[in-house]
């Protein structure tokens, strides 16, 4: 590959990672057509790869792409809507999109997030739609996360985008009366994006690391625009507490380090202090929600940096509240592990036994938690069998090695 081709490709990939959602949101907010905005931007990227190697990468690649996408969108609209009826709309598109042909591009992602969370959009597809249009996930990755086939997910996303266009759903942050209904879907989508970035513990996958950073950026944006929404503050606190520990999740050789054994000196103190300040602001609003409680759990773990140990009693209480609120089996598993820290392995195992094992049979954390608690009660053969199940289900090689080591260390 020629040097010019390589530079063009690397620049286009960097822009896509950094600004895809921002560019789609800007185009869609003006054309009211998400699918057309995506198509126009895809063609703009293709044009960039054709022109940049010979003409050089522009000083402002994002503005170049917007200008190219503008031309593609107008051409496509003109072809689809011939005649006088198309003229006023084309004039409006030309005028509005021209504002971003050079200079700074307004960030419209929050508006697009709320458009995707509109009541006219099927509730089951709102989060996937946000993940694709605003945060750049492809349909296959979204399908895997939501346990449906790629074809089915693609169809749902196409229908949702058509609904936005045909229903004339506005691109704006809703008024207060509509905000409460739609905000949870926006927060869920942002957290789903962060979780995807968090799944790259070593931070070696640029796209995953960028996704985590983008999610935190969006969390900051929502919290700044909606400072009286406690759950927006709680979500940002949760992400910051988690991100603060990224450097400690692996040792220098890349091996997995569980939270209880992480070097607290590697935790980002400034990020944790910001998270704590957000939690205090949220608590003052007297509107407790899931994200605040989950952030408070992380805060109770963070106490170890000051006192040498997590506040397990507080963690159990918080998981009790989360279980009451959500009924999530994931919460129940975490609660069982925390309960073992305060009342012993038998109590934790009893809490785990109360869950439906069939629904958790393919969930690795259930089996690793079960193995740990069984070992604590002295049931070593059963613990080894549970570790085998956990090892077989784990896809991260470093975590598999960690579980194998835990199994090997069991007393015979």
pLDDT at res. 338: 97
Where are the strands (E) in 296-399, listed by range? Answer: none
* Both tokens assigned to 71: 């031309």
- Of 65, 81, 107, the residue at which a domain comes to its end is 107
Count of the separate structural domains present in the chain: 2
In terms of domains, do 97 and 195 share one? no
In terms of domains, do 137 and 200 share one? yes
Is 332 a member of any domain?
no
Q: 286 — alpha (psi -120 to 50), left (phi > 0) or beta?
A: left
In terms of domains, do 136 and 222 share one? yes
In terms of domains, do 99 and 148 share one? no
In terms of domains, do 28 and 137 share one? no
Is 275 a member of any domain?
no
In terms of domains, do 184 and 213 share one? yes
Is 117 a member of any domain?
yes
In terms of domains, do 120 and 188 share one? yes
Is 368 a member of any domain?
no
pLDDT at res. 110: 83
pLDDT at res. 84: 45
- Of 107, 135, 167, the residue at which a domain comes to its end is 107
Is 374 a member of any domain?
no
Is 268 a member of any domain?
no
In terms of domains, do 102 and 112 share one? no
Kindly report the backbone phi and psi dihedral angles of residue 188, in degrees, each rounded to the nearest multiple of 5, phi listed first.
-60, -40
pLDDT at res. 394: 93
> What pTM did the predictor assign?
0.78
pLDDT at res. 195: 85
In terms of domains, do 102 and 165 share one? no
Q: In angstroms, what CA-CA distances link 263 with 251, 266, 305, 396? A: 9, 6, 9, 21
Whose CA is closest to 386, among 399, 373, 405?
373
In terms of domains, do 79 and 116 share one? no
Per-residue tens of pLDDT for the chain, all 412 residues: 566 678 889 988 888 878 888 888 888 888 788 888 889 899 999 998 999 998 888 989 888 998 888 887 777 766 665 544 444 444 444 444 454 444 567 788 888 888 888 888 988 888 888 888 887 778 887 887 676 888 999 999 999 999 998 888 888 888 777 777 889 988 988 888 788 777 765 555 555 556 788 789 889 988 988 899 999 999 999 999 999 999 999 999 989 999 999 999 999 999 999 999 999 999 999 999 999 999 999 999 999 998 889 999 999 999 999 999 999 999 999 999 999 999 999 999 999 999 988 889 999 999 999 999 999 999 999 999 999 999 999 988 999 999 999 999 997 6
Is 53 a member of any domain?
yes
Is 91 a member of any domain?
yes
pLDDT at res. 208: 57
* 220 burial via Cβ count (<10 Å: 0-12, 13-18, 19+): middle
In terms of domains, do 151 and 218 share one? yes
- Of 83, 107, 131, the residue at which a domain comes to its end is 107
pLDDT at res. 218: 84
DSSP 38: H
- Domain containing 37 equals 1-107
């Amino acid at each position: 590959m020629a040097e010019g081709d390589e530079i063009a490709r690397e620049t286009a990939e960097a822009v896509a990672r950094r600004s895809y959602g921002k560019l789609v949101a800007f185009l869609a907010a003006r054309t009211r057509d998400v699918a057309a905005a995506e198509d126009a931007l895809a063609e703009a990227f293709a044009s960039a790869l054709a022109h940049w190697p010979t003409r050089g990468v522009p000083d402002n690649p994002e503005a170049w792409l917007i200008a190219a996408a503008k031309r593609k969108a107008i051409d496509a609209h003109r072809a689809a809507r011939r005649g006088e009826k198309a003229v006023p709309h084309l004039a409006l598109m030309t005028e509005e999109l021209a504002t971003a042909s050079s200079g700074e591009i307004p960030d419209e992602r929050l508006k697009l997030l709320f458009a995707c969370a509109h009541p006219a959009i099927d509730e089951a597809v709102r989060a996937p739609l946000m993940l694709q249009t605003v945060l750049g996930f492809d349909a296959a990755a979204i399908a895997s996360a939501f346990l449906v086939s790629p074809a089915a997910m693609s169809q749902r996303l196409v229908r949702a985008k058509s609904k936005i266009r045909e229903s004339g759903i506005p691109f704006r942050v809703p008024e207060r009366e509509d905000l409460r209904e739609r905000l949870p879907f926006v927060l869920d989508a942002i957290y789903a994006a962060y979780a995807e970035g968090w799944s790259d513990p070593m931070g070696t996958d640029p796209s995953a690391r960028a996704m985590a950073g983008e999610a935190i950026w969006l969390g900051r944006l929502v919290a700044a625009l909606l400072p009286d929404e406690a759950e927006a503050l709680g979500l940002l606190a949760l992400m910051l507490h988690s991100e603060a520990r990224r450097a400690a999740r692996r040792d220098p050789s890349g091996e997995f380090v569980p939270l209880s054994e992480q070097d607290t000196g590697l935790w980002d103190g400034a990020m944790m202090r910001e998270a704590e300040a957000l939690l205090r602001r949220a608590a003052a609003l007297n509107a407790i929600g899931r994200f605040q409680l989950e952030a408070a759990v992380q805060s109770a773990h963070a106490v170890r940096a000051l006192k040498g140990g997590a506040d397990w009693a507080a963690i159990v209480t918080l998981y009790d509240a989360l279980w009451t609120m959500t009924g999530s089996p994931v919460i129940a598993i975490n609660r069982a592990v925390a309960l073992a820290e305060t009342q012993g392995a038998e109590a934790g195992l009893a809490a785990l036994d109360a869950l439906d094992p069939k629904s958790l049979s393919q969930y690795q954390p259930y089996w690793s938690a079960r193995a740990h608690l069984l070992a604590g009660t002295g049931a070593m053969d059963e613990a080894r069998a549970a570790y085998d199940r956990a090892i077989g289900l784990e896809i991260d090689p470093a975590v598999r090695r960690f579980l194998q080591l835990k199994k090997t260390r069991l007393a015979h």
